[in-house]
């Protein structure tokens, strides 16, 4: 755990007692603060009380005594309406921050000799894979890399600072909205497409939250910007015009000068101006598809910014095992490969997975964030769609006459139906679970949904007359 001494001796309100909230409260206590905790749900309150925390109904509290409000990222700051704690804090001019801001203040307060370097990764899609990949590459190179934030361990639950440590953090737009003083040594914006507009109002609000990762960079720092969408191009142009930091473009669609790019699957390092081919990403089985090439290119750029040589960086990249629920091969049975991409919680993420295969049996559906009309150029690659969850009827109507459809309702039915159809062809086939939806209609989160897919696949029985299942 990382102690936070920025509020030593002062009372601080903490709302939201899931993973990040409780960890923040522990870190504040370790730093000498007096946190007052609350949650809208009774179970987390009871757990906090059992741990010995001061559980206080913040509706009845005197907010003038609080030095700050540490707000859980899941509680809305502005849209669709501010959480009730936000209104109370603003009425008493109480600063509103999150656990990443507490981390940033702990970094600033640390003695120079033990102050860690920080890599901050954000974007709409690919954050977790890129964060984990950077951590893997750094550890392969012998560095003390700590991975956390919006992936794995909450940032304040990571091991304390020490000389040489590098914290690699995945940061969501919700977390960045509550972060003010973070100054990463390397800041990465992978891409930006429509997502979470209910929480940010519109694309300008969403982009503004993502842009916050760049706001405190200096001439010693590096920004790695994916420029294959208009927002990335805009961010890069702003940085280059300001001339305040190193700005490295990354593209998987065109060559770029002074950055890193991928052409026909080959990774090029053009950081010194003259492009040098450093690896063929088509051979890296854990990172299939153009979207993963973008993740790899950004991770490579980050490693280079941190002083890792090209050869060592590529060696680490090639040893990356991949992440669960992100283009993860679960099993090959009777020639049918089952790919778990449960993390595809929006249409653009599903597009990336679907684009990786020329033909596939598609399991999709859940709680839709949008329709799938924008995927129409990929409908011809769908051998058949197996639809589940709340979005099944709407997705089916969009696909009608453009791809075969089976309304399956739940995961087990979809997996069995897709397997039987794919196996019947007698050829190698892909069953792709890339739902293009949130999970909350049938599952607690995308991980639980991915595990349900895994379980359904592992329950399938091979045809004893056809080779081995793997």
Angle between helices 19-30 and 99-109 (to 10 degrees): 30
Query: What's the whole-number mean pLDDT along residues 329-336?
Result: 94
pLDDT on residue 466: 54
Residue 153 — very low, low, confident or very high, per pLDDT cuts 50/70/90? Answer: confident
CA distance 128 to 106: 24
Please give the average per-residue pLDDT across 157-183, as a whole number. 96
- Residue found by looking up tokens 């559980």 in the block: 55
- The residue ranges of every structural domain in the chain are 11-97, 104-318, 328-458
Instruction: pLDDT band for 464, please (50, 70, 90 cuts).
Output: low
| CATH superfamily of the 104-318 domain | Mur-like, catalytic domain (3.40.1190.10)
* Helices (H), ranges, 8-145: 19-30, 42-50, 84-91, 99-109, 127-140
pLDDT of residue 152: 80
**pLDDT for res 83:** 97
What is the pLDDT averaged over residues 290-314? 97
β-bridge partners, 268: 261, 277
Of the two residues 328 and 94, the one the predictor is more confident about is 94
Q: What is the dihedral of CA 50, 54, 60, 65, to 10 degrees?
A: -170
Under DSSP, the state recorded for 245 is: S
**Is the model more confident about 138 or about 19?**
138
CB 125 within 8 A of CB 349: yes
Helical (H) or strand (E) element with 276: strand 276-280
Sheet with 260-263, side-by-side order of all strands: 144-149, 165-170, 117-122, 186-189, 222-226, 246-251, 260-263, 266-269, 276-280
Prediction pTM value? 0.83
Reported as a single tens digit per residue, the pLDDT across 62-100 is: 999 999 999 999 999 999 999 999 999 999 999 999 999
- The pLDDT, as a whole number, for residue 44 is 94
CA distance 221 to 185: 5
CA distances from 137 to 118, 304, 306 (A): 15, 10, 11
Quote the CATH superfamily of domain 328-458: Mur ligase, C-terminal domain (3.90.190.20)
Mean of the pLDDT values across residues 444-466?
90
Helix (H), strand (E), coil (C) string for 192-232: CCCCCHHHHCCHHHHHHHHHHHHCCCCCCCEEEEECCCHHH
> 225-284, pLDDT tens digit by residue?
999 999 999 999 999 999 999 999 999 999 999 999 999 999 999 999 899 999 999 999
How far is the C-alpha of 302 from the C-alpha of 317, rounded, in Å? 12
Residue 465 confidence (pLDDT) above 60: no
Q: Tens of pLDDT along 12-71?
A: 999 999 888 999 999 999 999 999 999 999 999 999 999 999 999 999 999 999 999 999
- Return the number of other C-beta atoms located less than 10 Å from residue 359's C-beta: 13
Instruction: Give the mean pLDDT of the chain.
Output: 95
* 344-398 residue pLDDT tens: 999 989 998 999 899 999 999 999 999 999 999 999 999 999 999 999 999 999 9
Indicate the pLDDT class of residue 322, thresholds 50, 70 and 90. confident
pLDDT at 196 (0 to 100): 81
Q: Of all residues in the chain, what percent carry a pLDDT higher than 70?
A: 99
The CATH architecture one would assign to domain 11-97 is 3-Layer(aba) Sandwich (3.40)
Which range, 117-126, 149-158, 282-291, is most confident? Answer: 117-126
């Amino acid at each position: 755990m990382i102690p936070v001494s920025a509020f030593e001796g002062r009372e601080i309100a903490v709302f939201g007692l899931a993973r990040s909230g409780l960890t923040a409260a522990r870190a504040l206590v370790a730093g000498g603060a007096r946190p007052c905790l609350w949650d809208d749900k009774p179970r987390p309150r009871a757990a906090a009380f059992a741990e010995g925390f001061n559980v206080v109904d913040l509706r009845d509290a005197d907010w003038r005594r609080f030095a700050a409000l540490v707000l859980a990222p899941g509680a809305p700051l502005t849209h669709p309406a501010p959480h009730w704690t936000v209104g109370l804090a603003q009425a008493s001019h109480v600063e509103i921050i999150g656990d990443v801001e507490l981390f940033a203040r702990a970094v600033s307060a640390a003695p120079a000799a033990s102050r860690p370097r920080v890599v901050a990764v954000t974007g709409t899609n690919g954050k977790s894979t890129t964060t984990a990949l950077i951590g893997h590459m750094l550890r392969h190179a012998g560095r003390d890399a700590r991975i956390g934030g919006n992936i794995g361990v909450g940032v304040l639950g990571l091991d304390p600072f020490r000389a040489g440590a590098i914290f690699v953090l995945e940061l969501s737009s919700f977390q960045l909205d509550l972060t003010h003083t973070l100054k990463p040594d390397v800041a990465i914006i992978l891409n930006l497409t429509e997502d979470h507009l209910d929480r940010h109002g519109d694309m300008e609000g969403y982009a503004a939250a993502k842009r916050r990762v760049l706001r405190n960079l200096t001439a010693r720092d590096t920004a790695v910007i994916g420029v294959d969408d208009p927002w990335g191009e805009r961010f890069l142009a702003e940085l280059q015009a300001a001339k305040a930091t190193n700005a490295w473009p990354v593209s998987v669609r065109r060559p770029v000068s002074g950055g890193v790019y991928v052409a026909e699957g080959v990774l090029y390092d053009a950081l010194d101006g003259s492009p040098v081919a450093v690896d063929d990403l088509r051979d890296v089985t854990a990172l299939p598809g153009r979207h993963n090439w973008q993740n790899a290119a950004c991770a490579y750029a980050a490693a280079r910014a941190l002083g890792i040589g090209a050869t060592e960086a590529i060696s680490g990249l090639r040893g990356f095992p991949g992440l669960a629920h992100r283009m993860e091969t679960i099993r090959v049975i009777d020639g049918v490969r089952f790919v778990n991409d449960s993390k595809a919680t929006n249409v653009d993420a599903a597009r990336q997975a679907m684009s990786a295969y020329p033909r596939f049996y598609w399991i999709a559906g859940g709680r839709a964030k949008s329709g799938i009309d924008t995927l129409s150029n990929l409908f011809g690659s769908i051998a058949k769609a197996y639809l589940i969850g709340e979005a099944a009827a709407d997705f089916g109507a969009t696909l009608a006459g453009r791809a075969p459809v089976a309304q399956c309702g739940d995961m087990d039915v979809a997996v069995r139906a897709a397997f039987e159809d794919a196996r019947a062809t007698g050829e190698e086939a892909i069953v792709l679970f890339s739902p293009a939806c949130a999970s909350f209609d049938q599952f607690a989160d995308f991980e639980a949904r991915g595990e349900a897919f895994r379980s359904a696949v592992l329950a399938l029985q091979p045809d004893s007359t056809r080779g081995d299942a793997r």
